[in-house]
Amino acid sequence: MARTNESVVSEFVLLGLSNSRELQIFFFAIFSVVYVTSVLGNVLIIIIISFDSRLNSPMYFLLSNLSFIDICQSNFATPKMLVDFFVEHKTISFEGCMAQIFLLHSFVGSEMMLLVAMAYDRFIAICKPLHYGTIMNQRLCIIFVSISWAVGILHSVSHLAFTVDLPFCGPNEVDSFFCDLPLVIELACMDTYEMEIMTLTNSGLISLSCFLALIISYTIILISVRRRSSSGSSKALSTLTAHITVVILFFGPCIYFYIWPFSRLSVDKFLSVFYTVCTPLLNPIIYSLRNEDVKSAMWKLRNRHVNSWKN
């Protein structure tokens, strides 16, 4: 889509997290560890699920796709943020800024839909166990993943279609470490009230609808689990706890941002860090620590490599 003649801004200045040199070095050390751990952890989950036949089930197929999305989300802005800690003049091109907006909303929208698909999988497994193999077949899982990506991309394109043609004719400082859509919109040389409402409606609807669907699904599942008393129910409850923890930590900051999207506080910048840098780490930590099957597969993979080295 062509930019208007008024759009003379060719790059944006990212103000980052802090001007303090000491804090920037501290942040670099912390977020480097988080970034590397997040990427390696999610890659490990994909490898384990791919090579362990015991994890050849719909739940783990969806989990591996969730890990792939988290790897993508880890890389859309974090590497640049880490490099920018050592750069005095932090800039990003107009095209790079629009790419960050597109990628972030694509990944976040896809992950929301995928979490709903995972909740549906648990609903069928626990509430209709006799029909689980028939309903949750490979074809349906592929459809769920395809719909997740389609919704995420359409959600992102709907934002970008209006943002890319806004007249940016002067102010170009973004008070964040990446191109956050509400902060970029505020820089346009026009009244952005209607644009802000459209952004709030678009993102708010998908966030709240997915969150409500998840809350309803897990409430029904938890009621079903509480009515049973067996080791299988205990295992189901452990799995559900992991799912619910991911949902709360993922949607909490997201809903917060879209309740007050254009009224920023100092804490918002650090919530953005948690949302974009730390959230992808939740998947490997929570699922590896809470899920006995994944932990068992990890040890099996480790022992296999240890034995191969000895031989």
Does the structure show a pLDDT above 90 at 97? yes
Residue 237 to residue 289: CA distance in whole angstroms: 14
Tell whether domain 10-297 is in CATH 3.40.50.10610: no
- Side-chain-side CA neighbours of residue 30 (13 Å): 10
Q: Report, as an integer, the average pLDDT of 140-163.
A: 94
pTM value is 0.87
Does the structure show a pLDDT above 80 at 256? no
| Contact (Cβ atoms closer than 8 angstroms) between residue 254 and residue 275 | yes
In this predicted structure, what is the pLDDT of residue 2? 46
pLDDT tens string 202-226? 888 888 889 889 989 888 888 888 7
| Contact (Cβ atoms closer than 8 angstroms) between residue 208 and residue 245 | no
- Dihedral angle over CA of 51, 287, 251, 262, nearest 10: -80
Q: How confident is the model at residue 75 (pLDDT cuts 50, 70, 90)?
A: very high
